[in-house]
Amino acid sequence: MRTAFIQELFEIAQNDPRIILVVGDLGFGVVTPFMEELPQQFVNAGVAEQNMTGMAAGMALSGKIVFTYSIANFPVLRPLEQIRNDVCYHKANVRIVAVGGGMAYGSLGPSHHATEDIAVMRAMPNMVVLSPGDPVETRLATRALIDFQGPAYLRLGRAGDPIVHKEEPTFEIGKAITVRQGSDVTLIATGALLYDTLEAANSLAETGIQARVLSMHTIKPLDTEAVITAASETQALFTIEEHSVIGGLGSAVAETLLEAGTYPRYFKSIGLNGEFSAIVGTQEYLRSQYGLDANALVHTIQNGIEG
């Protein structure tokens, strides 16, 4: 996803001088072409995310479309006051890009895990929250954010995320993408767990369970119509996210269902339990340990349906 984002932004920025990329002194293996060929549209703010965000807000209020870029929670939690007061309050065209969502930087520990970021950014007034499911959706989300007015958060995976979409789907901020049709259960995934979710759905089909898979690339505003329709047409609904179950996708879906008075026969939010990870390892290893890989998802879903 990281590479897809930078490449797409670079292609667009070559023809749009309004676009500015501000980085927190990282990512030069990926951003070097942008830096070298568009020096007037590139700023290295250093390891100073608060300054980076304030600078971005100022440029945005001067007519620029600014993308701030850093690892995991650094562009979110460290400059949160600047995001709230400088970006959100002024409805500035700043796009906060976090690479390594969830536990992508698994071996570096909780300081580099972004597992509360969706909840935090959902709470920010005027903020749109995007979490694309694969590199294809990442490119489409990047394009969509050029014309979008107001603050936005773009949560990405790392490098090497598998491609789910063989062809470009229709992409619209606030509208889920149906990746797989199914009439028994609905699996609503966000972010890089989309691939594992689809793998789980295919495994479930071998046992006679037909799972609908929705890619909820936009968590705020949520596609309430898709959620309510899924809860009405299928017997069970599962949300799947590499994020705390507190305040993330599962919370957003549950709020939608309760407010609409729509009650699926069974509902479960699959994610992290709200604690810091005490385990060190690769992202794949951590997913397996926390029940977020395809095999674990199948087990959880089967238990929920049978129970």
pLDDT in the model for residue 306: 86
pLDDT in tens, 160-210: 899 999 999 999 999 999 999 999 999 999 999 999 999 999 999 999 999
pLDDT in the model for residue 9: 98
Measured CA distances, 161 to 4, 15, 177, 244 (Å): 10, 28, 18, 21
pLDDT in the model for residue 274: 87
Instruction: For the chain, list the domains and their CATH numbers.
Output: 2-156 (3.40.50.970), 177-306 (3.40.50.920)
pLDDT in the model for residue 207: 95
pLDDT in the model for residue 61: 98
Average pLDDT, the chain: 96
pLDDT in the model for residue 40: 97
> What is the pTM (predicted TM-score) of this model?
0.96
Percent of the chain with pLDDT over 70: 100
| Regions in the chain scoring below 50 on pLDDT | none
pLDDT in the model for residue 29: 84
Nearest to 82 by CA among 108, 104, 60: 60
pLDDT in the model for residue 157: 93
pLDDT in the model for residue 199: 98
pLDDT in the model for residue 160: 85
pLDDT in the model for residue 229: 97
